[in-house]
């Protein structure tokens, strides 16, 4: 039984003895028992694992073929005592021809036999010397003739078998099949297979492992599938080649787990593939939905055999999920961090530069608060002007201190503008807001939404009017997280003429400012002993606040955004899984518990802010329905013209119901 669409899979490499099925079957059993202890649903063994791949002309020997069949029969009997599926490799004879096959075994039965289609015939490989291509079975239209009696039972045989396991489907291809211009798995995926299993015997030569990993990753990405790859290891003959026991599990091109190579003992690598995530990706990808096997080589697409397999593996995903759940899914990490940060900024800069050129703009006007969002917008604008070869003095930065402005944010704003060499202006909004409150009859001691939003709209009016004065446009500073929550004043900071941060979530904003400080502005001018880098890093450390409520007696901010709407790292996490994959609140909660330790966020805290996220996301759509233009940067974008189209009056009841009426433990 699967939970939230997870299927636990494993690649298992036993230490074999070439041409010794009796020994090999015992080695397979030992790893199958280990997989059983891990509650694995599908365990994949290497190509020809019952005999060994490197038997060469011994494959023509009757004794080896009989022992291999007896070994499979023994594994079938053994499978009665385990719940998982075993997929092993063995030579199978039919009508005087020998086939290199994968045999799918479950519950004391052979569920299907999948013969290899593409046989290597180059260099040291000469597989067609012993085996025939499984394409022989694709030419058979009769259902009865696509069955074979093997190991004492009658079972289907074809390269085109889709195995149905609960709500998911899987299929098999073998080694060289993957290396062809159009692998069989391409057709299997189009026929419904969400997981592809590959039994392989891929030898090692210099740099081949990198190429092979890229190949697996690309095929997993292209087919939007989970891909379990298992290759022969230490026990194979080293007469001319060496086999390292490659074990790798991918999902939609992303590596979930990879085992160590060149081990001298048996090994098993397991991971949980998320089939709900795969289905969501396929639903959203029009080019996948629009493809059909019939539009390609019909020999691969005709007459797929569907085999039902009972799903009785009870996996406790709640206690141990065998995959990483990143708490910051938008934030780059690891080796490609620099590349991805540079790529994000380059997209923002290029988008703004094009807009400035297109409208023959003379200036860019930005409201600078000393906070993260306006800082990133200023960074992007400065880099765009550098990119165009324009003077930074044509950038007009405006600080607009109000009732809640603190000394720290004000000085950071003014120092940053001076250090970057942009034009700066300070226009207080206090007098204008005082008069406005008088005009509308609002008591200034009442710090309600009118009090706060009036300040935001006054600031927006100033920016728009100065843009008119200088022949420029207002650069929007609002980010993706604020748009998701509707944390913006309608026709206030909600509005601009081009929003450079429109698809940058708050967790990434902080990261990008830090990265830019180290990689773009480390050598810029200093102001009163503080470099641009110093100022940027201080801004990163400043609490997030709209600064719309008066400061306390010590001049400190009294309003912190995350105290009001919740932690942005949680909201960004919710947004990612809600938007990208359409996951249910129950599954998002489950994943959040895996991503964040209990001492960081308790179950009650996660549930509380998940309710807040869903309520606000649905109720605030009207603000997203009229967004200014802005560049899409990542896979999550809420532009009403592109990635997210939602009625402003849609009900959130179906999403909130589980959170209010059911335990999510």
Tell me how crowded residue 304 is: count the other CB atoms within 10 A of its CB.
18
Residue 374 CA to residue 387 CA, distance in Å, equals 20
**Which residue of the set 169, 175, 230, 361 is catalytic?**
175
Residue 528 CA to residue 191 CA, distance in Å, equals 66
| Cβ–Cβ < 8 Å for 498, 492 | no
Alpha carbon distances (Å) from 153 to 147, 361, 427: 10, 77, 86
Alpha carbon distances (Å) from 301 to 158, 368, 482: 12, 60, 47
Residue 557 CA to residue 551 CA, distance in Å, equals 5
Q: Using the structure block, give the residue that is written with the tokens 């994959």.
A: 581
Alpha carbon distances (Å) from 183 to 157, 175, 190: 19, 10, 12
| Cβ–Cβ < 8 Å for 197, 171 | yes
Q: Using the structure block, give the residue that is written with the tokens 């074990």.
A: 247
Kindly state the tokens that stand for 305.
């055999």
Kindly state the tokens that stand for 596.
């964040």
Residue 645 CA to residue 513 CA, distance in Å, equals 30
Facing residues of 122 across strands? none
Kindly state the tokens that stand for 411.
């000085």
Annotated active-site residue 361? The verdict is no
State phi, psi for 655 to the nearest 5 degrees: -85, -35
Alpha carbon distances (Å) from 53 to 16, 58, 151, 157, 575: 10, 11, 20, 21, 48
Task: Give the closest residue to 218 by CA, choosing from 176, 259, 169, 252.
Answer: 252
**Which residue of the set 29, 47, 341, 569 is catalytic?**
47
> Sign of the CA dihedral 243, 245, 249, 255?
negative
Annotated active-site residue 175? The verdict is yes
Annotated active-site residue 294? The verdict is no
State phi, psi for 625 to the nearest 5 degrees: -70, -15
Task: Give the closest residue to 277 by CA, choosing from 224, 314, 238, 315.
Answer: 224
**Which residue of the set 29, 106, 111, 116 is catalytic?**
116
Kindly state the tokens that stand for 544.
């997030």
Alpha carbon distances (Å) from 124 to 239, 261, 423: 11, 22, 70
The helix (run of H) or strand (run of E) holding residue 102 is strand 97-106
Task: Give the closest residue to 165 by CA, choosing from 47, 315, 301, 288.
Answer: 315
Residue 75 CA to residue 449 CA, distance in Å, equals 71
Q: Which residues of 472-502 are buried (b: 16+ CB within 10 A; e: fewer)?
A: bbbbbbbbbbbbbbbbbbeebbbbbbbbbbb
**What SS3 state is found at 425?**
strand
Tell me how crowded residue 518 is: count the other CB atoms within 10 A of its CB.
13
How buried is 291 (Cβ within 10 angstroms: 0-12 exposed, 13-18 middle, 19+ buried)?
A: middle
How buried is 18 (Cβ within 10 angstroms: 0-12 exposed, 13-18 middle, 19+ buried)?
A: middle
- CA 188-157-163 angle, to 5 degrees, is 45
* Residue 196 CB contacts under 8 Å (≥ 6 apart), including other chains: 170, 171, 172, 173, 185, 188, 189, 219, 220, 223, 225, 226, 227, 228
**What SS3 state is found at 529?**
coil
Angle, to 10 degrees, between the axis of helix 372-388 and the axis of helix 337-358?
Answer: 70
Q: Which active-site residues does the annotation give?
A: 47, 116, 175
């Amino acid at each position: 039984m699967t939970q939230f669409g997870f299927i636990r899979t494993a690649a298992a490499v036993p230490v074999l003895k070439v041409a010794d099925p009796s020994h090999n079957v015992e080695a397979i059993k030992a790893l199958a028992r280990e997989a059983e202890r891990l509650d694995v649903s599908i365990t994949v063994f290497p190509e020809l694992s019952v005999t060994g791949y490197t038997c060469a002309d011994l494959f023509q020997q009757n004794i080896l073929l009989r022992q291999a069949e007896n070994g499979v029969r023994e594994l079938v009997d053994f499978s009665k005592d385990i719940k998982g599926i075993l997929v092993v490799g063995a030579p199978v004879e039919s009508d005087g021809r020998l086939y290199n096959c994968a045999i799918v075994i479950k519950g004391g039965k052979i569920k299907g036999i999948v013969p290899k289609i593409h046989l290597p015939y180059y260099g040291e490989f000469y597989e067609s010397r012993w085996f025939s291509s499984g394409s022989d079975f694709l030419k058979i239209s009769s259902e009865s003739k696509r069955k074979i009696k093997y190991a004492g039972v009658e079972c289907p045989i074809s390269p085109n078998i889709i195995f149905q396991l609960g709500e998911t489907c899987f299929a098999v291809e073998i080694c060289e099949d993957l290396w062809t211009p159009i692998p069989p798995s391409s057709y299997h995926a189009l026929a419904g297979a969400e997981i592809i299993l590959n039994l392989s015997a891929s030898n090692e030569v210099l740099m081949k492992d990198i190429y092979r990993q890229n190949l697996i990753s690309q095929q997993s990405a292209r087919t939007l599938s989970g891909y379990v790859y298992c290759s022969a290891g230490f026990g194979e003959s080293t007469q001319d080649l060496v086999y390292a026991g490659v074990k790798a599990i991918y999902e939609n091109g992303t590596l979930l787990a990879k085992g160590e190579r060149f081990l001298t003992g048996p090994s098993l690598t397991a991971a949980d593939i998320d089939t709900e995530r795969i289905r969501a990706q396929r639903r959203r990808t029009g080019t996948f939905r629009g493809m059909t096997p019939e539009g390609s080589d019909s020999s691969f697409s005709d007459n797929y055999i569907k085999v039902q397999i009972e799903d009785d593996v009870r996996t406790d995903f709640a206690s141990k999920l065998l995959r990483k759940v990143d708490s910051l899914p938008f934030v780059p990490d690891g080796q490609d961090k620099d590349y991805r940060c540079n790529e994000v900024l380059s997209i923002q800069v290029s988008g703004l530069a094009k807009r400035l050129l297109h409208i023959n703009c003379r200036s860019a006007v930005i409201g600078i608060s000393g906070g993260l969002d306006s800082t990133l917008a200023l960074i992007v604008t400065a880099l765009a002007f550098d990119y165009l070869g324009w003077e930074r003095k044509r950038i007009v930065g405006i600080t607009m201190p109000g009732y809640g402005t603190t000394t720290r944010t004000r000085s950071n704003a003014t120092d940053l503008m001076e250090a970057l060499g942009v034009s700066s202006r300070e226009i207080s909004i206090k007098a204008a807001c005082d008069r406005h409150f008088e005009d509308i009859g609002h008591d200034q001691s009442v710090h309600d939404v009118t009090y706060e939003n009036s300040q935001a709209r006054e600031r927006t009016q100033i920016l728009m009017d100065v843009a008119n004065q200088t022949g420029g446009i207002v650069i929007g500073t609002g980010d993706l997280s604020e748009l998701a929550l509707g944390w913006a004043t309608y026709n206030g900071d909600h509005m601009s003429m081009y929003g450079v941060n429109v698809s940058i979530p708050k967790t990434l904003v902080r990261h990008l400012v830090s990265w830019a400080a180290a990689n773009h502005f480390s050598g810029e001018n200093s102001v009163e002993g503080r470099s641009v880098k110093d100022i940027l890093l201080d801004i990163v450390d400043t609490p997030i606040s709209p600064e719309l409520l008066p400061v306390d007696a010590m001049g400190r901010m009294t309003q912190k955004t995350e105290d009001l709407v919740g932690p942005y790292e949680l909201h960004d996490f919710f947004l990612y899984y809600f938007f990208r994959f359409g996951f249910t609140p129950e599954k998002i909660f489950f994943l959040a518990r895996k991503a964040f330790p209990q001492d960081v966020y308790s179950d009650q805290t996660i549930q509380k802010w998940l309710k807040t996220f869903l309520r606000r996301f649905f109720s605030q759509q009207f603000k997203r329905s009229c967004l200014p233009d802005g560049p899409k940067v990542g896979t999550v974008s809420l532009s009403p013209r592109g990635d997210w189209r939602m009625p402003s009056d849609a009900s959130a009841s179906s999403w909130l119901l589980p959170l209010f009426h059911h335990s999510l433990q």
